[in-house]
Structure 1
Amino acid sequence: MSTTTSLDRRRFLALSATTALAATGLSACAGSAGSSTSGSGGGKTTLTLMSVANEWDKKTLKAAEEALGMNINLILSDPTKLNAMLAAKNAPDVVRGLGATETPYFAARGLMTDLDPYIAKSSVLKDSDLAPVNDVWRYDGKKQGVGPRYGLAKDYSQDSMFWYRTDMFEAAKLDAPSATEPISYDEWLDLGKKLVKRRFGKVNVYGLNATGMGVFPQLMGMTASAGGSVFAEDLATVDFTSPEAQKALQWYLDYAKADIGPSVVNPNPDGWDGPTFQANRMAMSCNGYWFGGLIGADPKLAGVSRFAPAPQLGDHRVSSCFGATGFWIPRDAKNKDAAWKFFEWYFGGQPAQDRAASGWGIPSLTSLNSKMPQTNDFQKQAFQVQQQELSHFSVISFTPYAQQAALEGVLTKVLPGAVKSGTPAGKVADTLNSQMNELLAQGKELVG
């Protein structure tokens, strides 16, 4: 995977955190958007693929078509267009998505194809070879992580892990984080305060970015490590007033108030951590293994960068994935056999081997772990830390009643004013509960 491709992948993930299908359900009123349909041309099957542009440039598309013996009609990922196509039953054959946060939403609405029968017959993709992260693509109607498998991750990371700059730690005369034992969130915040640099009253070098994949998932992970859950057992409501969730919320309020890194109050002007970390303006970045692909492309940066386990808020060690980007096949796809042929090639063929060797993510198949880069000291350290972290992965169920973007929207609306006014965490929790539970109730009504 090229650097350009991966950078665009990250921008897409950032975009996905702010734009998504509305939590009010699928509307059939825009059915005309589904004019690009699957069909046959020139005697070949045409596979309609909804994905991002720079992962499928002309050269890559041509190679895929030759390998698969079919034509590929690429539709650029667009939540509104996908909404319309699904509602009109004119779905793409294959759709790119975030398994960790999207699977319950689409599966609960009956919009995804159960892949278990295909996997059972496949000689390429074996259930026993699928990394545990693929369980985020499972949903049994009540809980994520069990039940039918609706998609596969193309690669993944444990997204609360973080990268740090050894040169900045040395300059501040601070001990580097352990490569084996996770630090506490309080220790992490303290390090961020010591590493931040200001000039003329403004942050010149961020001490820490604590939310690589969005604030809401990070709060979910923190609450889980404290022994609780943001969502109720039925996933239909949130409760930020619980002791564990309020502890997580209080930590984020303290982080944002300290102004040591990007937050809902002061977002990073760069849009994401890549350019900032490369420009020597960030000491610690909360991004998973995939971020090493960016770092490793610059030998000088790789020489001063190291990887660390996910910080913990409590005694329940948790290190989850909030992305698991991959593909799924809509229920109403016209060419499901062709879609599965694409799956076997993309997830089990040469593309999967190339991704594994690139360092831009952990392979979705455990049999490909040995292909992860381990040549130089930087790669060896990251690989060792990552391998030790794998056993602490677990699925944290996301709700089927709202998308992450809607919940992030509430946080973006409520938290800045709360931080600036010093509103107590308990009162902020009440406001979040009220607004998010209203959204979730609307979504539940639509799902039935």
Structure 2
Amino acid sequence: MRIVKGSEPTVVRRDGRRVLVARARAVLNALEHLVGGLGTALLASAGVLWVVLVGLLSAVGVGLPLTATLPRVVRSVAERERGRLTRWGPEIIALGPAPAGARGLLTDPIMRRELRWLFVHGTLGLFIGMFGVTLAVQAVQDVTYPLWWRLLPREEAAPTFVFWTVEDDHGARLVALFGFVVAAAFVVTGPGLAWLQAWPGRRLLVPPADIDLSLRIAHLSSTRAAALDAHATELRRIERSLHDGAQNRLVAVTILIGAARRALERDPSATGSALDRAQDAAEQALAELRTVVRSILPPVLDDRGLAGALAGLADDCAVPCRTDVDVPGRCAASVEATAYFVTAEALTNITKHSRASRADVVVRREGDRLLLRIEDDGVGGADAREGSGIAGIRGRIEAHDGRLELTSPPGGPTTLRVELPCGL
């Protein structure tokens, strides 16, 4: 009974920590969504100004040549928002180039919906993004205000939203208290603001059912082709490994056995060394065969699960690597194998090219998606077009109809985000 009673507070504390972590993650995601939405809202606002300017110039007869640019401007901004919304929720398939000519802006039903979204997001979305980001920045500024307020000139000793004059530490502590109130307001309203900012795009940028179906068929056809290409590439890799490795070793075994047989007839004392060499070659062939088999579907996934397999990769990595895997249950074997190989390739790239001092591997499962993030503090500049291995990683992911996002500015850090469907 004491064990049961003693375990109850532990369970409560663990559940409490999970709730706090989940809430903190939701707030950080909301802030990230608002910042990203603010970026596309600024683009949409610029697009609104361009549409209005071209309309006014066309009214006086000098802007007609510029009307041909309107569909491309509207479509390009809408595609940026589709990509942003796809990263944070259900996929919105890109529509490709805009119709040619200004008439398509008014006659094409999709372009009309995009034009409506442009005006809504360029005004309401811009206001929501600015308000939410300002609220978060103001909370941080006010909470930390007692630490730095004395460094300000006397006439600037009060933050933006504070209506009283700060003249001593007591006033600065009141500002910090006000900052906690602002932070609590953002914690409560931030996720709702992010949802409200994204709602027009979710409603207006989704293509109609018939067009959406044709786009999805084309998308599935391309991913099927990617899966076939990835399968063919994998078969070629396995065939090359067998041909260049195990097959050559087995040929050497047969030659050495033949030499031993001939030595047995001429010089029996030399037979032992020939058989020893044949045994060594056979053992090397077996080792290479095991390596090829493990590269097809690593047995460590069955033995230790995804968390244990990734921990093993991190332990073997030359760069200090931390793993954080929170995946309840098991995913499909092919999905776990893809996550394993993607991580192995990414850690190999980090070791060879990044000059990093640390790396992090974070894996989460959200609904029917497996989310994988690999980050390092290296020099950055990773590019799939320069043979960094990213192209091979992308092929594995697209074969599962997954998504890959690489962020690697010069100077670092490099972040690889992978999303794989793993079923309910």
Which category describes the TM-score, using the shorter chain as reference length?
under 0.3
Structure 1 or 2, whichever has the larger Rg, is: 2
Normalised by the length of structure 2, the TM-score is 0.21
Structure (1/2) with the larger helix percentage: 2
Task: Say which structure, 1 or 2, has more relative contact order (CA 8 Å, 6+ apart).
Answer: 1
